[in-house]
Structure 1
Amino acid sequence: MDRKKFIRNSLAGLSAIVALPAAITACSREADTINPENPTGTDTDACALSPRETEGPYPIKTPAQLVRENIVADRTGVALLMTITVQDQSNACAPLAGVLVDVWHCDKDGNYSQYSGYTNVSFLRGRQTTDTNGQASFISIFPGWYRGRAPHIHVEVLDADERSLMVSQIAFPVDVYTEVYSSEGYNGAPDTSNTQDGIFSDSLDGNMADAVTGNVTDGYTLTKTLVV
C-alpha cells in the first residue's frame, strides 16, 4: 500500500498517540536516526534466513479477528510506524506477497493485552497481508520493557492458509530506546540490554531492525526485512 494512503486511511482513533501529526510529517522526510549497527539499512548477509525465535508467553489468541493497520487501541506512548518486508529465500529473496504478518508487543509499562489483567482487550496486536512488494505496515507506539527482556516486537509470518512460516522478534538500537525511555511516560532504562538478552544473545544482528528513524517528539518509523 502507498505509504501516504496508508497513513491517511489509518488516522481514525489515533488521538492517544503522543505527537501523531508530527510523526506523520516525519514519515515523509529524510530519516535522521539510523541504526548504527547497520547504517546502510541493507542486508549484509544476502538472502540469509531470519532468526527463528520463541513466540513467548503472550502470543495472539485471536489473530483472525485483529486484521487492522492501527493497533494502538487506548494505549499511549511515542508514535511508531513499522513496515515489515517479507522475502522468500527459495525464490532468490523475491518479495513474498499475500502472506499474513502478525505483530504483538507490550505497552509502555510492559503489559500485554489478552493476558493477566488485560484479558478482555487486544491492544498492540494486529494482522496484515503483504502487498505486491511483500510489505505490511502497522501504526503503533514504541514498546516499553519488562524484567529480563530487552525491548522487542514479536512477529509471525503465515501463509494464506494460516500455516506458520516463521516466528521471530525484532530488536531496537540502544541509542534509540535509550532516548525513548528517557522521555515522559516510560520507565527509564531497561534492566536487560540487547547483548544480555537470552533471545538475542546468539542472533542480535539478524534480529536488529534494519533502520529506526525519527525522534521522541515526531515519532519513529521502523523497517525490518524478514526472510522466510
Structure 2
Amino acid sequence: MEPLHDAHPHGLAADLNTLAQRALARRGVLRWLAAGAALAGPMALIGCGGGGDADVGDSSSDSGDTSGDTGGDTGSCSVIPSETSGPYPADGTNRNSGGTVNALAMTGIVRRDITTSFGDHGDNVAEGVPLTVTLKLVNTASSCANLAGYAVYLWHCDRGGNYSLYSSDAADENYLRGVQISDSNGEVSFTTIFPACYSGRWPHIHFEVYASEAEATSGNNAVKTSQLALPSAACQQVYGVASGYDASVSNFAQVSLSSDNVFSDDSAALQLATVDGSVSAGFTATLTVGVSG
C-alpha cells in the first residue's frame, strides 16, 4: 500500500474515501486469489479414481466469508450447475409404488434434523456417521449478495444406498428429507448422516432451491436443482471403517468424478463441498450455491 501522508489539501473526508477505495480494491484481489486456490483443489480431484485422492475437500467457488456479513460479498461467484433431481426426489414430480409421492406436502418437512422419519411414517432413525450440511445461497446477479428467505429442499440416500419412500428397504420411511429457510447470511443447515456410495454414482446429496417456503412446500417452481459432491478423502475415511457402509467400499472403488454421469464435466468444481471432521466426531460439509436471483 502506498504511504499515507499526514496532511494534504483534500481534507479528512477525502482521506476516508481514499482509504475505503483502497481497502475494497485490496479485498477484491485477495478474494480473486482465494478463488483461484479453491478452484485448483477440486479440479485436481476430477481426474482421480474413487480411492486415489488425499484432499478432504475444497470450497466450490469463492463467494465470500460466512461469518455473519449480512450485506453479502463484493467478490465474484458462479451459478451452480443445474442437475437432474434423479429418480427419487419425492417432490411431486414422479411416482413410487403407491402413486405420486410428495414429501414437500407432508406436515413436518420443514426441519433441521432430517435423520428421523416423521408424521405418518413413524420415527425410525437413519443410522450412520453424523454429517452437518451447510449451504450458503448467494445471488450471482447482485455481487454475490446473501439470499435470505429462500427455501432449500435437501435429500439423499441412507448408509445402505436406499432412498426413503422409494427403495424397498426404506419405502415406509421418509427420513433424510427436509426443508430449511435461509437466514440473513443466506445459510441453511441440516443435521443428517454421511450417505452411501451406491453402484454407478459418486457420493452425493441432492437439493432444490425455492424462492420461499411457500414455493417449496407447494412443490412448484424450483429456481435451481443441483447436487453436492463429497470429496474423496472424506469418503475414504467413512467407507470400510464405519459400520453399515460395507457395500460402499467396492462401489466407491469403481467410480470417479470423471466417470460420474453428473459430475464428469468441468463445472464439478462448483459442486464439490468442503468437508472436515472424522468418523468418531462426525463431519461438516459446506458449499456455496450461486443462484441467479
Q: Report what 1:174 is aligned to.
A: 232
Q: Could you list the per-position Cα deviations for residues 36-58 of structure 1 after superposition, in whole angstroms to 9, with x for gaps in the alignment?
A: 92577472583111111000000
2:245 is matched by which residue type in structure 1? Y
- Report the Cα offset of residue 119 of structure 1: 2.9
Of 99, 103, 128, 2:180 maps to 128
* Alignment-derived partner of residue 18 in structure 2: none
CA distance change for structure 1 residues 40 and 120 in 2, over 3 Å: closer, same or farther?
closer
Match of 1:208 among 255, 272, 292: 272
RMSD of aligned C-alpha atoms? 2.1
The answer as to whether partners of 2:148 and 2:183 remain within 8 angstroms in 1 is yes
Structure 1 residues 186 and 48: CA distance shift in structure 2, 3 A:
same
Query: What's 1:26 paired with?
Result: none
Query: Helix, strand or coil for the counterpart of 1:59?
Result: coil
CA contact (8 A) 1:195 1:204 kept: no
Alpha-carbon distance between aligned partners in 2 of 1:40 and 1:114, rounded to the nearest angstrom: 32
Q: Is the partner of 2:141 in helix, strand or coil?
A: helix
CA contact 2:59–2:288 (8 Å) conserved in 1: no
Q: 1:94 aligns with which of 145, 159, 163?
A: 145
Name the count of aligned residue pairs: 194
Q: In the aligned structure 1, how far is the partner of 2:270 from the partner of 2:223?
A: 17
1:145 aligns with 2:203: no
Instruction: Give the conservation status (yes or no) of the 8 Å contact 2:180–2:189.
Output: yes
Q: CA deviation at 1:68?
A: 0.7
| 40-49 or 114-123: bigger deviation | 40-49
AA aligned to 1:198 is N
User: Which stretch of the first structure deviates more once superposed, 60-69 or 35-44?
Assistant: 35-44
Change in CA separation of 1:150 and 1:40 when aligned onto 2, cut-off 3 Å? closer
What amino acid is aligned across from residue 151 of structure 2 in structure 1? L
Q: What is the DSSP-based 3-state SS (H/G/I as helix, E as strand, rest coil) of the residue aligned with 2:269?
A: helix
Greater C-alpha Rg: 2
Please, which runs of 5 or more residues in structure 2 have no aligned partner?
A: 1-37, 43-56, 64-75, 91-101, 117-124, 216-220
Deviation sequence 1:120-173 (CA, Å, 0-9, x none): 321101000001110010000000021110100001101124221100101111
Task: Report 1:32-181 matches (<5 A).
Answer: 37=41, 41=59, 43-44=61-62, 46-60=76-90, 61-65=102-106, 66-73=109-116, 74-117=125-168, 118-160=170-212, 161-162=214-215, 163-181=221-239
Conservation of the 8 A alpha-carbon contact between 1:85 and 1:225? yes
- 1:102 alignment partner, SS class: strand
Change (3 A) 1:180 1:147: same
**Structure ranking higher on relative contact order (CA contacts 8 Å, 6+ apart):** 1
Amino acid paired to 2:161: G
Give the letter for the 2:287 counterpart. K
Amino acid at match of 1:62: A
Q: Pick the structure with more helix per residue.
A: 2
1:182 Cα deviation from its structure 2 partner: 2.0
Q: What do the CA deviations read for 1:99-118 (whole angstroms, capped 9, x no partner)?
A: 11010000011000011323
**Bigger mean CA deviation after superposition, 192-201 or 114-123:** 114-123
Counting strand residues as a fraction of each chain, which structure ranks higher?
Answer: 1
Same amino acid, percent of matched pairs: 40
Q: Which runs of 5+ in 1 are unaligned?
A: 1-33
| Residue matched to 1:195 | 258
Report the alpha carbon displacement of residue 35 of structure 1 after superposing the two structures with TM.
Answer: 11
Q: Normalising by the residue count of structure 1, what TM-score does the alignment of the two structures yield?
A: 0.79
Q: What is the one-letter code of the residue matched to 2:157? A: C
Q: TM-score, normalised by structure 2?
A: 0.62
